[in-house]
Structure 1
Amino acid sequence: MIKRPLSRRRLISRSGPLLAAGLATPAVLRRAWADEPLRVSSYAGIFEDTLKLEVYPVFTQATGIQIASVAQPDGDSWFQKLHDEVENGPLSVDVTMCGWQSATEWGSIFGPLDTSKIKNADNVSDHLIHQNSDGKTDAIAVMAWYLTFVTNIDSVPQAPTSWADAWDEKFSEQLGWDGDINSSYLIDIVAHTFFDGTASMASHDDLNKCMAKAAELKDNVKIWWNDEADFERRFEGIEVWGGGFYNDAIQTAIKEGFPFRSTFPKEGGVIGFGSWAVLQGSKAGDQAAEFINFCIDPATQGMISRQLGTAPVVAREKTDLTDAEFALVSSDIPPIVPNFSVYENESGWIARRWQKYLLSVA
């Protein structure tokens, strides 16, 4: 999955109380629920704070279901903890946030979702719905974010139009890029920009061709960063003119006065997303289904986008986002969807080969 370092969440500013007058809220039929709250974990920091303060109260008001919010650390250690709880008990959460890769790697700890109780799942694109090895839905995306081509408008007066522009010699030693080939999805960018898309990632030969092309960026990349805060600091200090980075973070920096732009290239931005999954053994399956259904309701999607700067996971016309609001968080250009199965099966080999390409001994 696209990484979710928590440093990025510090850039997100809240846009005001979610219960502002006139703001649409989903129509939900209230019913009697047990007094025990639904325990929901999400990424720690402003991300979890915003959901806890602005979104969960709306759900409780609409349904009567209380939410106990849990701060979730980044990385596999969280899912290992949940695995141990599923195996040995007791569970500390009922619903957790995960990415596609986490849902795949740790799928044994998630229970199948009863989609008959999650009617709004019909609004969500298939590539945002994860299925387990038995073909049953076990995670549904609730918010999306995009990796885009970001540039400093003072240094780069003309906006790029394609990912291919990153290879232009005008960017010699002026770009910053994620150095982790398995999370930067640079291979996917190359495949969709210079070759035949996902079909160009089907074999080792295909992947070698993509990595060879990606390695041609070496002359233009000044820093291969491992920490998002490092790129942010250098970009703000004009040490680099741009690179591949996250649209929501850059949009917030723009609001703070930085001379940046975020461009969705014609090939598409690279989509990442956070999904809700329910732990095996949770006794709150019905409440969890109600919660997930609420979160992917088109009205809620508009709320979440405004609060977190993330992209909706339902079609824009189903939300109440204005054109201007939608343009800040998403694009009508179809996204590049990472070839997750390749990274699941080949991440070690890809990482080793990429290091050889960077050292020019492939």
Structure 2
Amino acid sequence: MYFGGNDILNSEQGIDQVIAKIAEIKPNVKLWWQDEGTMQTALQNEEVVGGTFIHDTTVYLQHNGTAVRSIFQREGGLQGINYWFQPSSSKRAAEAAVFLEWSCSPEAQQIITRKLMSAPVLPRSKLNLSDAEFALVSSERKPFLIATEARMRFADCMEQQFTRMLRG
């Protein structure tokens, strides 16, 4: 958001600029997480009282007694992108195609929303979610997309620069 979008992450020079900005706010942060599981354990053990965490897991923790709540920032939520794939050696291409087609259907998206607490990828107008169901997992505000492709392309650079910044 600070740099006007994800395009800055499409080069190592841009990544350096982002890391430099993160370094500026580093003194305001008490603890950095490198994986979701570590933070989940710390929250459940009451070793920490808050932080930035993935929404669907937060809702799951709430339903299982952990005292957390999910708040969507006023600028809009962050939306990650996950890719499903099938190994090239698989002999089940037709079955995979049927599954993928079903998973993109309104029926599947409603199940995913209600059971996995994940935001639907289809427009709300195509779903029969109540206002409360939708509000639990999403917002009407346009989300900010996580720079998944840049993360895959520059993973080593980002990891090295971020670790160097944290240690420096």
Q: Matched residues in 1 for 2:140 and 2:121: separation?
A: 13
Partner of 1:318: 126
Aligned-pair CA distance for 1:281: 5.1
What is the root-mean-square deviation of aligned Cα atoms in Å? 2.4
Distance of aligned partners of 1:279 and 1:345 in 2 relative to their CA distance in 1, 3 Å threshold: closer
Distance of aligned partners of 1:212 and 1:322 in 2 relative to their CA distance in 1, 3 Å threshold: same
Partner of 1:224: 32
Partner of 1:276: 84
Flag the structure with higher strand content.
1
Q: Deviations over 1:239-261 (max 9, x none)?
A: 43322211111112223344322
Partner of 2:104: 296
Count residues in correspondence: 168
Q: Deviations over 1:304-341 (max 9, x none)?
A: 22122222121122111111111112222222222233
Partner of 1:212: 20
Q: Which amino acid aligns with 1:262?
A: S
Q: Deviations over 1:32-71 (max 9, x none)?
A: xxxxxxxxxxxxxxxxxxxxxxxxxxxxxxxxxxxxxxxx
Q: Matched residues in 2 for 1:306 and 1:352: separation?
A: 38
Flag the structure with higher helix content.
2
SS of alignment partner, residue 118 of structure 2: coil
Q: Deviations over 1:165-188 (max 9, x none)?
A: xxxxxxxxxxxxxxxxxxxxxxxx
Q: Deviations over 1:81-126 (max 9, x none)?
A: xxxxxxxxxxxxxxxxxxxxxxxxxxxxxxxxxxxxxxxxxxxxxx
Indicate whether 1:329 and 2:137 are aligned.
yes
Rg: which structure is higher? 1
Q: Matched residues in 2 for 1:239 and 1:341: separation?
A: 34
1:222–1:240 CA contact under 8 A, matched in 2: no
Partner of 1:252: 60
1:264–1:333 CA contact under 8 A, matched in 2: no
Please give the TM-score of this superposition, normalised by the length of structure 1: 0.42
Distance of aligned partners of 1:328 and 1:355 in 2 relative to their CA distance in 1, 3 Å threshold: same
SS of alignment partner, residue 32 of structure 2: strand
2:43–2:66 CA contact under 8 A, matched in 1: no
SS of alignment partner, residue 142 of structure 2: coil
1:309–1:329 CA contact under 8 A, matched in 2: yes
* Contiguous gaps of at least 5 residues in structure 1: 1-191
Distance of aligned partners of 1:224 and 1:288 in 2 relative to their CA distance in 1, 3 Å threshold: same
* Contiguous gaps of at least 5 residues in structure 2: none
Q: Matched residues in 2 for 1:339 and 1:357: separation?
A: 20
1:305–1:312 CA contact under 8 A, matched in 2: yes
Q: Matched residues in 2 for 1:335 and 1:320: separation?
A: 21
Distance of aligned partners of 1:342 and 1:295 in 2 relative to their CA distance in 1, 3 Å threshold: closer
Q: Matched residues in 2 for 1:328 and 1:285: separation?
A: 35
